[in-house]
Amino acid sequence: MTLPIYVLNGPSLNLLGTREPEIYGHATLADIERLCATRAKVYGLETVFRQSNIEGVLVDWIQEAREKASALIINGAAYTHTSIAILDALRAFDKPVIEVHLSNPFRREPFRRHSYVSLGSTGVIVGLKEHGYVLAIDALANMLESTSNDRRRTN
């Protein structure tokens, strides 16, 4: 049985749906949680979906994922651009990590163009609104499947 994919969301993503919809779209966080769970199910996978406004809580969840998750999807929101603590936690997580952003930070303010999270991520998906999370599940399902095939071949 494959461990679940953790989907972690940073500050103010709890306000999705009403927060700057012209930038982030109209889907709520609950909608995105449902999309992730439904897509994961197609591959026989489960998701653990969480949001926090607190940097240390996100660090704790990344540490928890070392034992309890097969892979991580993270939208660090504003902490993306500031948090060495989140980067260090990601570097201690030696399984696939996909960084997702609803908007495309590269066509916004210059301070959004640097991501600490990217330095600890396997791949990055930006600018595709909630669909980015679904694509991240597809990518991880593919990676997890090929790792388990490799394991089967060597056993």
Indicate which single residue of 40, 77, 87, 144 sits in contact with ligand DQA (rule: CB under 6 A): 77
Cα dihedral 31, 77, 89, 141 sign: positive
Paired strand residues for 47: 5
Reduced to 3 states (helix: H, G, I; strand: E, B; else coil), residue 100 is strand
Q: Check residue 102 for interaction with ligand DQA (CB under 6 A).
A: yes
131 is catalytic: no
Indicate which single residue of 25, 96, 105, 120 sits in contact with ligand DQA (rule: CB under 6 A): 105
114 is catalytic: no
Tokens 């439904």 correspond to 38
Q: Check residue 78 for interaction with ligand DQA (CB under 6 A).
A: yes
Q: Return d(Cα 49, Cα 75) in angstroms, integer.
A: 11
Which part of the chain contacts ligand DQA (CB under 6 A), choosing from 33-41, 60-68, 71-79, 140-148? 71-79
Q: Which is nearer to ligand DQA, 70 or 115 (CB)?
A: 115
Q: Return d(Cα 128, Cα 85) in angstroms, integer.
A: 27
Q: Which is nearer to ligand DQA, 96 or 105 (CB)?
A: 105
Question: What ranges make up the beta strands (E) of 38-141?
Answer: 47-51, 71-75, 97-101, 123-126
Q: Which residues bind ligand DQA (CB under 6 A)?
A: 12, 75, 77-78, 80, 101-103, 105, 112
Q: Would you name the residues annotated as active-site residues?
A: 24, 101
